[in-house]
Structure 1
Amino acid sequence: MAKNTPLKSVLVTGAARRIGRAIALDLAKAGWTVAVHCNRSRDEAGSVVDEISAMGGKAAVVEADLAVQDAAEGLVAQANDAIGPLSCLVNNASVFEKDTPETATRESWESHMQVNLHAPFQLIQGFIKQRPADVDGNIINLIDQRVWNVTPFFTSYTVSKVALWGLTQNLALALAPSVRVNAIGPGPTLPSIHQTTEQFERQWSAQPLSRPALPEEICRAIQFVLDAPSMTGQMIVLDGGQHLGWAPGSTDEEMAD
């Protein structure tokens, strides 16, 4: 890919908390201007912006409920108004709710597909429309190691992430050479809403490397993707080897309430 005009401005969805927060702060430390997306976590998002400002960076809060049909369409425009044209989009926001083929409803299915697949695609559509012609673009989708190691649990969530991985590869071809599209596939990183700390510990302990991923590792992987101009259509999996096979003892801990 040719070296074009440098522009370091990024929209990170779901950036008020957890992994998204770590990504936003890390990109700001690397000199990026950050649009910090939130839904209901306005105070937490404001805290992220304050931290970025305190380190001498630039950031702004943008709000949208990605569970609402077509809400994503206005989010890129919000980000443009707040920080200017974007050269990078990090699709991190996600819904992760338990269902099975027996318990899944139309509502649970559509909720996962809307937030985990349709909203990222709409954001990507908005992103490519606003990208300046002389600027190379980057799209990074946060997916899940389970797309390489499908389990029979969390049916709607799993299918939505498998579809997002397929979209990542499709768009890597469709948007080349001016936009690169890649993914990060975390394994257990932070306890989910379905787990206690003890259950989470037992889950990652059952992995081949017997350790969880860290938010800092995910941030370093994103920086690697941004610094690797020949990389597209790839996923970096950070999961302690979990994708190599569902380890004995980990299944019950994932399913715990």
Structure 2
Amino acid sequence: MPTAVVTGAGIRIGKAIALALAEAGYDLALHVHQSTEGADEVAGKARALGRSATVYRANLGTPEGVESLAKDVRRDHPALDVLVNNAGLYERRAFEDISREDFHRMLGVNLEAPFFLTQALLPVLRAAPQPLVVNLTDIAAERAESHYAHYTVSKAGLLMLTKALAVELAPRVRVNAISPGTVIFPENFDEAARQALLARIPFGREGSAEDVARVVVFLAREAPYISGQVIAVDGARSAQL
């Protein structure tokens, strides 16, 4: 049975990706930091489908957390078919208020963790027949947005990491990125701001976590010659000025 690791698998997009992979036939290694209840729910649903599922808890904002997760995954899974680097931080803050601590925390989770987790799991990825790494970026990685300087810089770095690894690890390991647009508004999101954002999306609505999850499954199952690509899932928002 093929195996997939999904970071940040207890909530939102990560949860949907993990469930979609279980439905597509993958055993799961589910990473969480704090959302253990959601990950346990995913694990239960995966087991009901006949898959194995293990939950690992680690703080990917620290080198120790990344290494701990990698060590546990390597111990339990001699071959890894899919790695989804989904865990991330998102924060709105004025540029002049971003401290060095804020900056390093953001890049630590959004860029350094995918970099070093992929590196640490490379031996078990290479042991799989057609290994795939998927990084979750953001359409903001290529388009400036006020009050998110440290966030957008971290996602821009992840976008370039995707391309760099696709070249360096070819042809053995495929590396792609999915770049969501407006997908799942936060529960406390201001309604006026929500409507203003929706007005900028040609589809006229937000996307769902399942929209993103379907692309992960497509890349894993149906796209053996696609690598180094960044696929926007944004209702055509990034296609217009």
- Cα root mean square deviation, aligned: 1.8
- Is residue 114 of structure 1 aligned with residue 115 of structure 2? no
- Is residue 159 of structure 1 aligned with residue 153 of structure 2? yes
Q: Give secondary structure in 1 for the equivalent of 2:135.
A: strand
Q: Give secondary structure in 2 for the equivalent of 1:149.
A: coil
Q: 1:196 to 1:82 in 2, by over 3 A?
A: farther
Deviation at 1:84, TM superposition (A): 4.3
The residue number in structure 2 matching 1:206 is: 200
Deviation at 1:219, TM superposition (A): 1.3
Provide the TM-score with structure 1 as the length reference.
Answer: 0.87
Contact 2:79 2:128 in 1 (8 A): no
- Is residue 178 of structure 1 aligned with residue 165 of structure 2? no
Deviation at 1:209, TM superposition (A): 1.9
The residue number in structure 2 matching 1:224 is: 218
Question: For residue 8 of structure 2, what is the amino acid of its counterpart?
Answer: G
Question: For residue 225 of structure 1, what is the amino acid of its counterpart?
Answer: L
Unaligned runs of 5+ in 1: 1-6, 247-257
Cα deviation 1:172-215 (Å, max 9, x = unaligned): 00000000000000011111377235633442233122121111
Q: Aligned partners of 1:53, 1:84: CA distance in 2, in Å?
A: 20
Q: 1:158 to 1:194 in 2, by over 3 A?
A: farther
The residue number in structure 1 matching 2:97 is: 103
Question: For residue 98 of structure 1, what is the amino acid of its counterpart?
Answer: R
Percent identity reads 35
Which piece of structure 1 moves more, 87-96 or 202-211?
Answer: 202-211
The residue number in structure 2 matching 1:127 is: 121
Superposed structure 1 runs of 4+ greater than 3 Å apart: 80-84, 196-199
- Is residue 68 of structure 1 aligned with residue 62 of structure 2? yes
Deviation at 1:80, TM superposition (A): 3.2
Contact 1:35 1:60 in 2 (8 A): yes
Contact 1:146 1:243 in 2 (8 A): no
Unaligned runs of 5+ in 2: none
Contact 2:31 2:56 in 1 (8 A): yes
Deviation at 1:134, TM superposition (A): 5.8
Which piece of structure 1 moves more, 188-197 or 203-212?
Answer: 188-197
Question: For residue 119 of structure 2, what is the amino acid of its counterpart?
Answer: Q
Question: For residue 109 of structure 2, what is the amino acid of its counterpart?
Answer: V
Among 18, 26, 36, the alignment partner of 2:12 is 18
- Is residue 241 of structure 1 aligned with residue 215 of structure 2? no
Contact 2:126 2:172 in 1 (8 A): no
Q: Aligned partners of 1:103, 1:207: CA distance in 2, in Å?
A: 30
Deviation at 1:241, TM superposition (A): 1.9
Which piece of structure 1 moves more, 59-68 or 72-81?
Answer: 72-81
Deviation at 1:99, TM superposition (A): 1.9
Q: Aligned partners of 1:120, 1:96: CA distance in 2, in Å?
A: 15
Q: Aligned partners of 2:240, 2:145: CA distance in 1, in Å?
A: 10
The residue number in structure 1 matching 2:162 is: 168
Contact 2:126 2:173 in 1 (8 A): no
Matched residues, number: 240
Q: 1:27 to 1:46 in 2, by over 3 A?
A: same
Contact 1:140 1:184 in 2 (8 A): yes
Q: Give secondary structure in 2 for the equivalent of 1:229.
A: coil
Q: Give secondary structure in 2 for the equivalent of 1:211.
A: coil
Contact 2:8 2:88 in 1 (8 A): yes
The residue number in structure 2 matching 1:251 is: none
Q: Give secondary structure in 1 for the equivalent of 2:105.
A: helix
Q: 1:148 to 1:175 in 2, by over 3 A?
A: same
Contact 2:84 2:136 in 1 (8 A): yes
